[in-house]
Each structure stands twice: as C-alpha cells, then as structure tokens.
Amino acid sequence: MATVRPRKAEGIDGTARALTVCVRTLLADVACVHERRLFGRDAFFVRGYLCVTAGGGRLMCRIDPSRHAEWVSEPGCAPMRMRGRIVRGYLDVDAAALPDRRRLERWIARALAFNATLPARSR
C-alpha cells in the first residue's frame, strides 16, 4: 500500500476528511490498493483501476454500469459528470447520505464488486 501523508481537513467541519479516513480504513485489508490525489479528491485504486474517491463532502464510486440507473435513484446519489456529460458507471454520493458505517460499507462493497469483474492489469 502506498505511503499516506496526513492532509488538512477539507471544509469547515472536517466531514470530507472524516470520509476519506473511513474509506481508507475500510480498504485497509484489501489487496493492491493505492491512493493518490485525483480531481481534487483522495482517489483509491484497486488492482490498478479507479475504485472510489472521497473529498469535497462526497464519495464517488465506480460501479457496474448496468446498475447505474437503479442506484442513482438512491438518496444522496447523483450521476458523476465530466465536462457536463454524465459518465455511466460512476456515481457521486453525498456524505450526508452516509450517516453510518453500514451505508458507507455498502457503497464500498458495490465498487469493489465491480472492480473484481475487471480484467487483471499487467504492470
């Protein structure tokens, strides 16, 4: 796992920072996790693929595109947009919609399940 340096909290209440710490903790026992900054957030790559990001009071999850329409309707969820276009298979989840560890674990599990379906990357 990559060396992690502490960063200052994002936002006044530190919610974004707390979310990053929780994601990091949940991924601690997952093999092949690397962390780096991406899109102004803390990004977590699993097996060489972007899996989740945390920051700005949101969690972004890379999920199965075939489940996108189903899961985007859940509370606090919105499609991720890049240059004004919706990117299927990526959802932004507002941190306020993750009031407990169980809900965060569910989103992380969804992202990890999709990640497991991707082909192995040669490095």
> Any idea what the CATH number is for the domain that residue 83 is in?
3.90.1150
Domain membership flag for residue 6: no
Read off the pLDDT band of 9 (50, 70, 90): very low
Domain count, the chain: 1
Radius of gyration in angstroms for the set of CA atoms belonging to the chain, rounded to a whole number: 14
Query: Beta-carbon neighbour count of residue 2 at 10 Å?
Result: 10
pTM of structure: 0.84
Identify whether the C-beta of residue 57 lies closer than 8 Å to the C-beta of residue 47. no
**Coil, helix or strand at residue 46:** strand
| Residue 7: both structure tokens together | 């960063």
The pLDDT tens digits for 33-89 are 999 999 889 999 999 999 999 998 999 999 999 999 999 999 999 999 989 999 999
Q: Say which amino acid occupies 71.
A: W
The pLDDT tens digits for 12-35 are 234 558 899 999 999 999 999 999
Domain membership flag for residue 66: yes
Show the domain range for 64. Answer: 15-42+55-117
- The residues near 29 (Cβ < 8 Å, ≥ 6 apart) are none
